[in-house]
Amino acid sequence: MKRPINISVFLLAVAVIVLTTSCTKVDSSPTFPIEPSIKLIEINQLEVMEFQDTLEILLAYEDGDGDLGNLDPDIPSLVIKDARLSQPDSFHLQPLAPYGAQISIQGELLVRLPQLFLLGNGSTESTRFKVKLLDRAGHESNEIETPQIKIIR
């Protein structure tokens, strides 16, 4: 028997639990392009138990004008796409530098995806996540893709 899946409940949970850890380094010496840039540092696990484990993706970021994140919680700055789904999900980030500072910033961002689940009836599924950042000026970062993640029932 097929279990009903409530994607909106899952997405709400992810939106509520996406945590950002910003170790913003403000330094006048490095100068980066005004388009944000991200790099995958690590993932805490490649196999997760459905509805139990939290997948953590640690990213490094750079931005030449420091306009990552937004004060308005309705404006998304983080885009994550599960390869199993047709549309990405967008999330809010707090500003990663003082508003209007126009400074180069770099740091790390921890993204937590709690309680992943299977979309089908099988006992396992595999997926990848694509992640990118959007700044207040509308610039998009490069897109990183995670290694394959196995979700186990």
SS3 call for 101: coil
Question: For residue 10, which phi and psi values (nearest 5 degrees)?
Answer: -60, -45
Average pLDDT in the chain = 86
Specify the higher pLDDT residue, 14 or 45.
Answer: 45
Give the pLDDT confidence score for residue 101 in this predicted structure: 86
Banded pLDDT at 152 (limits 50, 70, 90):
very high
> What is the distance between the alpha carbons of residues 63 and 35, in angstroms, rounded to a whole number?
6
Specify the higher pLDDT residue, 112 or 25.
Answer: 112
The predicted-structure confidence for 48-98, as pLDDT tens digits, reads as follows 999 999 999 999 999 999 999 999 999 999 999 999 999 999 999 999 999
The CA angle 19-21-22, to the nearest 5 degrees, is 135
Banded pLDDT at 16 (limits 50, 70, 90):
very low
Question: Looking up tokens 């509520």, which residue turns up?
Answer: 16
Give the pLDDT confidence score for residue 29 in this predicted structure: 54
Q: Which domains does the chain have, with CATH numbers?
A: 7-152 (2.60.40.770)
